[in-house]
Structure 1
Amino acid sequence: MTQRVLVAYGTRNGSTAGIAEAIGDALRAQGMEAQVRPAAEVEDVTSYDLVVVGGALYMGRWHVDAVRFARRHRSELLNRAVWLFSSGPLDPSAGERDIPPVRGVRRAMIRLDAREHRTFGGRLEKGARGRMARTIVESGRGGDFRDFDAISAWATALAAKPVAAVPLR
């Protein structure tokens, strides 16, 4: 039976949406049925076998849509395999070392009994929304630091992990 996967994400300027799409593509390549959706638009998670939740990092906080998604669907997510990801560093650091989750993501990991978290580099380019984002871009510190090979490798490894061991609560 094909496993159904939801990749839900919170993003402001589209970088995290691009990462979520790459994760969905990699999962589909592994034979999974993956849907990629903005976290704020997801009303029900009960039809999915596993869920990947991602959020952009802004000033050390996970995107509000990812946080709200985790809270709103907590009881259903506890009965599914859950993985989390963040996007955000505007430098190559995410490709050089494991970046631990920020406090809000650590809290979500515990509350959802998430199996794993990964931080990927982000993207911030001209036209970004928000005063702080524009300031960063104008100062020359923006750019695209997403590593799509690493994103695909993580999703491919995720697809190989057993899901059946999730206890119903």
Structure 2
Amino acid sequence: MTRIALVAYGTKNGSTAEIADFIADVLRSHGLEAEARPAAGVRDVGPYDAIVLGGALYMGRWHRDARRFARRHRHHLAGRLVWLFSSGPLDASASQRNIPPVRTAHRAERSLGAEEHVTFGGRLTEGARGRVARMILDEGRGGDFRDFDRIAAWAESIAAAVAAEPAHHREEHISSVKEGRDA
């Protein structure tokens, strides 16, 4: 049976969405069925064997859509394979050392029992929306600090963990839907 993974994300200027798409591509290249979707549009996590949730960092907080996804689905994610990522440092720090999750991502990590949280560098380029983004760009601190080799290695470790885990959660959800219950 093919394993199905969801890579949900909260993004403002598209950088986190691009990371999520890349993670889904890596998961697919390792035999999983994977899709990347905006976290705000996900209504049901039941069909998925694994969930990767990512959020952009703004002003020291995880993106609102990622926080809301974690709260809305916390009961359905209990006991599931869940990984979290943040994107945002606009320098090389994320590739040089382990950056602990911001408070809001750390809270989601604990409440969801996530396997791991990792922070990746972000990207901020001309045309980014928001007052703070424009200030950062005006100061010359923009650029692309994403390390796609590091992101690929992390996604490959997720694919290996999902492959090693029995696929019982999705089957339980499918059974409950057929019987008219909400999993």
The residue that corresponds to 1:86 in the other structure is: 86
Query: Secondary structure, in 3 states, of the residue corresponding to 1:91?
Result: coil
The residue that corresponds to 1:76 in the other structure is: 76
2:67 equivalent to 1:64: no
The residue that corresponds to 2:166 in the other structure is: 164
The residue that corresponds to 1:116 in the other structure is: 116
The residue that corresponds to 2:151 in the other structure is: 151
CA–CA distance in structure 1, aligned partners of residues 132 and 166 of structure 2: 43
CA–CA distance in structure 1, aligned partners of residues 39 and 84 of structure 2: 12
The residue that corresponds to 1:32 in the other structure is: 32
The runs of 4+ residues in structure 1 deviating greater than 4 Å are: 165-168
Would you tell me which structure has more helix in proportion to its own residues?
Answer: 2
Is the CA contact 1:81–1:166 (under 8 Å) kept in the aligned structure 2? Answer: no
Q: Aligned letter for 1:63? A: H
Structure 2 length as normaliser, TM-score?
Answer: 0.89
Query: Secondary structure, in 3 states, of the residue corresponding to 2:36?
Result: strand
Offset, 1:99: 0.6
CA–CA distance in structure 1, aligned partners of residues 168 and 144 of structure 2: 36
Is the CA contact 1:101–1:118 (under 8 Å) kept in the aligned structure 2? Answer: yes
Offset, 1:166: 8.5
CA–CA distance in structure 2, aligned partners of residues 163 and 8 of structure 1: 20
2:54 equivalent to 1:42: no
The residue that corresponds to 1:54 in the other structure is: 54
Tell me which moved more, 119-128 or 156-165.
Answer: 156-165
Offset, 1:61: 0.3
Larger Cα Rg: Structure 1 or Structure 2? 2
Offset, 1:165: 9.1
The residue that corresponds to 2:127 in the other structure is: 127
Offset, 1:138: 1.2
Is the CA contact 1:50–1:163 (under 8 Å) kept in the aligned structure 2? Answer: no
Q: State how many pairs are aligned.
A: 169
**RMSD value, Cα:** 1.7
CA–CA distance in structure 1, aligned partners of residues 11 and 97 of structure 2: 23
The residue that corresponds to 1:22 in the other structure is: 22
Unmatched 5+ stretches in structure 1: none
Offset, 1:164: 3.0
| Per-residue deviation, residues 65-107 of structure 1 (Å, max 9, x unmatched) | 0000000011111131100000000000111111110111111
Q: Aligned letter for 1:104? A: T
Is the CA contact 1:15–1:122 (under 8 Å) kept in the aligned structure 2? Answer: yes
Offset, 1:114: 0.4
CA–CA distance in structure 2, aligned partners of residues 89 and 62 of structure 1: 12
- Identity across the alignment (%): 64
Query: Secondary structure, in 3 states, of the residue corresponding to 1:46?
Result: coil
Q: Aligned letter for 1:59? A: M
The residue that corresponds to 1:104 in the other structure is: 104
Q: Aligned letter for 1:114? A: A
